């Protein structure tokens, strides 16, 4: 299968890492009441760059509204995703957003807001692939997102099935590029961005009905920031009650069924 123009889009998007949404650079001092949000900017429609390199998405709109209601400016900072917990607890950021799954292991080191979106650890393949079920990836080469909560799940599955799956670990963009170029035969990634990429590139990908489990997405913050957690949850509930949450959700995911 020849790489589509999608691979060019992915490569271009990867070059944007490290850019702050407000255009400031590393080490820029922020006002005391500013909330600095650590993100990955390649997770559409949650958080990504549009054709003009502007940061857009569900989390961008939602957090800007939350900041407005709390009278706290929001600054988005692109971080290395596998260092998100370190960035948070080192106080380089105040929140983790952009497709953060709730896991029992992470609850030991960070606090979570109330769940915002339901997600799944999905399996994606090229449209012409002979892979149709979870068991079909046995003996295949599979790409996983670095520091993803799907890694231990898939590794346990691998052990039970004879340890024949070969893994590579990369970013979402690079996993999909590797899939298109057939360097890997499948990828296990978050369903939310995979659905977006699949819809934007008809005929390129296929998402299996089989998956490695469902999870919820939320925002993460330091365990010690109890007052902020209460403020965030109260604001989220208020937005659910007044219809703002539904409006933002429909803007990026379509009508709620």
Return the pLDDT at 147: 79
* 3-class SS shares of the chain: helix, strand, coil, % to 5: 35, 25, 35
| Phi, psi for residue 71 in degrees, rounded to 5 | 55, 45
- Encode burial over 200-230: b for 16+ CB neighbours within 10 A, e otherwise: ebeebbebbeeebeebebbbbbbeebeebbe
* β pairing state of 141-145 and 47-49: unpaired
What digits encode the pLDDT tens for the residues 171-187? 898 999 999 999 999 99
pTM of the model: 0.80
Distances (CA, A) of 88 to 85, 130, 200: 5, 42, 33
- Encode burial over 146-181: b for 16+ CB neighbours within 10 A, e otherwise: eebbbbebbeebbeeeeeebeeeebbbbbbbbbbbe
Return the pLDDT at 255: 58
Burial class for 17, CB neighbours closer than 10 Å (0-12, 13-18, 19+): middle
Per-residue pLDDT of the chain (257 residues), as tens digits, is 444 445 444 433 433 333 334 433 444 334 569 999 999 999 999 999 999 999 999 999 999 999 999 999 999 999 999 899 999 999 999 999 999 999 999 999 999 999 999 999 999 999 999 999 999 999 999 999 887 889 999 999 999 999 999 999 988 989 999 999 999 999 999 999 999 999 999 999 999 999 999 999 999 999 999 999 999 999 999 999 999 999 999 999 985 44
Neighbouring C-beta atoms of residue 8, cutoff 10 Å: 11
Return the pLDDT at 254: 81
Return the pLDDT at 12: 39
Return the pLDDT at 13: 41
């Amino acid at each position: 299968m020849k790489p589509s123009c999608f691979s060019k889009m992915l490569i271009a998007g990867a070059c944007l890492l490290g850019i702050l949404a407000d255009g400031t650079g590393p080490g820029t001092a922020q006002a005391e009441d500013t909330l600095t949000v650590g993100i990955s900017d390649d997770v559409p429609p949650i958080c990504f760059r549009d054709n003009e390199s502007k940061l857009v998405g569900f989390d961008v709109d939602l957090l800007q509204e939350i900041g407005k209601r709390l009278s706290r400016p929001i600054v988005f900072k692109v971080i290395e995703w596998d260092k998100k917990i370190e960035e948070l607890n080192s106080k380089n950021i105040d929140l983790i957003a952009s497709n953060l799954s709730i896991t029992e292991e992470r609850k030991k080191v960070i606090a979570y807001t109330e769940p915002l979106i339901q997600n799944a650890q999905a399996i994606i393949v090229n449209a012409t692939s002979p892979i149709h079920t979870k068991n079909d990836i046995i003996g295949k080469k599979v790409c996983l997102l670095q520091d993803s909560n799907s890694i231990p799940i898939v590794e346990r599955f691998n052990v039970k099935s004879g340890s024949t799956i070969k893994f590579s670990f990369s970013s979402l963009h690079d996993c999909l590029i590797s899939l298109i170029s057939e360097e890997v035969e499948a990828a296990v990634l978050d369903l939310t961005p995979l659905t977006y990429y699949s819809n934007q590139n008809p005929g390129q990908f296929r998402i299996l009905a089989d998956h490695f489990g469902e999870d919820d997405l939320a925002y993460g913050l330091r365990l010690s920031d109890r007052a902020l957690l209460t403020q965030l949850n109260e604001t989220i509930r208020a937005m659910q009650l007044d219809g703002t949450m539904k409006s933002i959700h429909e803007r990026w995911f379509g009508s709620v069924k």
